[in-house]
């Protein structure tokens, strides 16, 4: 394997060698000729034209073309000869972006892999260098561009090869130290994200029917809807990768015409724009699909696609079919238990919570002592049943969601997974000086419980139309705030809720979850006009 081979015609993986080598050269030549814009356009022997590098000094450069961005060149664009051009327009083939030059000069060159042009010019006003300067510039520019490309391709290819070897070594070490397929697959995700310097990585594995793949392990995925997607054969990017049995890339997922029945809405809500996927083949059977993606536009290239295919192929060598099948079975069983637990929580537990609230209200407003006692018994029975059911649900899922430290985004995602009231707008926010800090399992479980309980209370009883959940992480604590714009409580009622002997079921369970970890729970007027539930857990005691 050698990434210095001829197919390495542009940047890929974490390498920016070509762009970094050509950028200063473009700036130098643009400055020498007195132009405001400089571009290096490359037309490989196969595939669309690409932007390799650019340098712009005009004020209009707030949305520049990206390295590797595919282009549409105008008819009559010069190939093989120097030309002075007017009213030149170079369009992005990826988005609504165009570079317009009122006058420009195109300096062409050829190499073994395609044809390139150095384009320098101005967006407005005349640009007409002296003929002698142009001839001298052409000789100098072509020589320097070719030399820069040769060196950059060699340096970039070496960097990619080193990065790939490092990624595979990470996976091999994980496979050698643990026989568990889940641990090896987790290391595959980490290595893939690092190899391509991407924001997210995730893995899907087959369910029992062998046709439907469900997302299992994820890195930096925030929305429950995306995490719980189930992908059929041929559906979306992963389905296409399975159908073709090869890696595929999508530069703009929402607008990719190749993707059939793609989960565009869920992907958009997760914020993923550009992504790649590759199948993991074990004994010639697809046992998983590994994905990498970004929440910003990233023009993955053919070289990226080839690199991901090699990465997936070598990663599969450390996996054994029996271990992968056993892991798949355990994941499917766990997901079914989790689904059942969530369904019961959203139906039975919420029903018991409503019974308890209504019993409390009736007890508070009733003048008949006997009826008040009966309401107290009903409320107490509802609370007892709710506590027992929650305990059994926790046993049912084996606290699988909390077995490993969680990120703040994962905690917010779990809070948001509780059923939403009709017509209610929810927002979330992860803030503080340490947003990337991992949250220990007990703290994550307590924060999720408080967040879900507070959202449920607000949406059932306050009449709110908005609810905002914020998780702030600093060096000392994890602080969760759930605020709504509902009716709130008058001072007397708020004092009763905050009292240590408060009979309020929801607040009592939240207080218990927080205080047993040495934290504190407060209820106060919120910034949205209703109530704000605030839970603070000290990091030092967890």
CATH code for the domain in which residue 246 is found: 3.30.450.40
Give a yes or no: residue 36 inside a domain.
yes
Domain match, 22 and 130 both: yes
Give a yes or no: residue 306 inside a domain.
yes
Residue 421, exposed/middle/buried by CB under 10 A (0-12, 13-18, 19+)?
Answer: middle
Domain match, 285 and 363 both: no
Identify the CA nearest to 144 among candidates 166, 170, 118, 180: 118
Domain match, 387 and 248 both: no
Domain match, 370 and 438 both: no
Domain match, 48 and 69 both: yes
Look at the chain and report how many structural domains it folds into. 4
150-156, Cβ contacts within 8 angstroms, sequence gap of 24 or more? 151/21, 152/17, 152/18, 152/20, 152/21, 152/22, 153/4, 153/8, 153/9, 153/17, 153/18, 154/4, 155/15, 155/17, 155/21, 156/3, 156/8, 156/11, 156/12, 156/15, 156/16, 156/17, 156/18
Domain match, 408 and 375 both: no
Range of the domain at 94: 17-156
pLDDT of residue 1: 43
Strands 83-92 vs 98-111: parallel, antiparallel or unpaired:
antiparallel
Domain match, 341 and 256 both: no
pLDDT of residue 132: 59
Domain stop point among 295, 319, 343: 319
Domain match, 329 and 309 both: no
Q: Residue 521: give its domain's CATH number.
A: 3.30.565.10
Percent composition of the chain: helix, strand, coil (DSSP 3-state, to 5)? 45, 25, 30
pLDDT of residue 334: 63
Domain stop point among 319, 340, 371: 319
> Rounded to whole angstroms, how far apart are CA atoms 489 and 507?
14
Domain match, 204 and 286 both: yes
- The residue ranges of the chain whose pLDDT is under 50 are 1-6, 399-403
Domain match, 62 and 41 both: yes
Identify the CA nearest to 44 among candidates 25, 71, 81: 71
Within 13 Å of residue 143, how many CA atoms lie on the same side as its CB?
Answer: 6
Give a yes or no: residue 96 inside a domain.
yes
Domain match, 472 and 494 both: yes
Give a yes or no: residue 165 inside a domain.
no
Give a yes or no: residue 38 inside a domain.
yes
Rounded alpha-carbon distances, angstroms, from residue 259 to 47, 241, 305: 20, 10, 16
Domain stop point among 271, 286, 319: 319
* pTM score, whole prediction: 0.68
Domain match, 520 and 469 both: yes
Give a yes or no: residue 60 inside a domain.
yes
């Amino acid at each position: 394997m050698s990434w210095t081979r001829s197919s390495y015609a542009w940047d890929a993986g974490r390498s920016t060698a070509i762009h970094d080598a050509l950028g200063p050269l473009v700036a130098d030549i643009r400055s020498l000729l007195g132009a405001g814009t400089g571009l290096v356009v490359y037309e490989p022997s196969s595939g669309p034209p690409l932007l390799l590098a650019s340098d712009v000094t005009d004020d209009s450069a707030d949305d520049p073309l990206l390295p590797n961005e595919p282009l549409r060149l105008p008819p009559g664009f010069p190939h093989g000869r120097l030309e002075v051009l007017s009213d030149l327009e170079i369009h992005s083939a990826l988005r609504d972006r165009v570079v317009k030059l009122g006058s420009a000069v195109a300096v062409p060159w050829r190499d073994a892999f395609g044809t390139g042009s150095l384009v320098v010019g101005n967006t407005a006003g005349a640009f007409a260098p002296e003929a002698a300067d142009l001839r001298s510039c052409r000789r100098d520019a072509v020589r320097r561009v070719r030399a820069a490309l040769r060196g950059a391709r060699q340096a970039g290819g070496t960097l990619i090869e080193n990065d790939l070897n490092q990624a595979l070594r990470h996976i091999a070490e994980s496979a050698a130290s643990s026989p568990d397929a889940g641990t090896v697959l987790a290391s595959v995700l980490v290595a893939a994200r690092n190899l391509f310097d991407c924001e997210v990585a995730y893995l899907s594995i087959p369910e029992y029917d062998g046709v439907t793949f469900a997302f299992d392990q994820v890195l930096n995925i925030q929305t429950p809807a995306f995490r719980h997607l189930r992908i059929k054969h041929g559906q979306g990017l992963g389905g296409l990768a399975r159908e073709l049995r090869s890696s595929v890339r999508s530069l703009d997922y929402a607008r990719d015409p190749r993707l059939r029945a793609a989960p565009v809405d869920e992907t958009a809500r997760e914020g993923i724009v550009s992504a790649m996927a590759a199948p993991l083949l074990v004994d010639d059977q697809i046992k998983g699909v590994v994905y990498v993606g970004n929440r910003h536009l990233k023009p993955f290239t053919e070289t990226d696609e080839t690199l991901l295919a090699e990465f997936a192929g070598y990663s599969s060598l450390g996996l054994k079919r029996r271990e992968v099948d056993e892991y798949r079975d355990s994941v499917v069983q766990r997901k079914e238990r989790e689904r059942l637990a969530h369904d019961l929580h959203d139906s039975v537990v919420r029903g018991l919570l409503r019974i308890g609230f209504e019993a409390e209200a009736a007890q508070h407003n009733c003048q008949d002592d006997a009826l008040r006692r009966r309401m107290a018994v009903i409320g107490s029975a509802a609370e007892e049943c709710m506590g027992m059911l929650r305990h059994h649900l926790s046993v049912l899922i084996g606290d699988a969601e909390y077995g490993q430290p969680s990120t703040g985004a994962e905690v917010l995602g779990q809070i948001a997974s509780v059923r939403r009231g009709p017509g209610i707008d929810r927002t979330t926010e992860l803030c503080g000086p340490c947003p990337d800090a991992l949250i220990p399992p007990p703290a994550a479980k307590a924060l999720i419980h408080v967040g879900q309980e507070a959202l449920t209370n607000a949406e059932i009883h306050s009449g709110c139309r908005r609810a905002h959940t914020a998780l702030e992480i600093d060096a000392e604590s994890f602080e969760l705030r759930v605020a709504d714009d509902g009716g709130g409580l008058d001072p007397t009622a708020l004092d009763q809720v905050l009292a240590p002997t408060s009979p309020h079921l929801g607040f009592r369970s939240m207080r218990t979850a927080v205080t047993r970890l040495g934290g504190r729970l407060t209820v106060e007027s919120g910034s949205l006009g209703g109530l704000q539930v605030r839970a603070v857990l000290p990091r030092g005691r967890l």
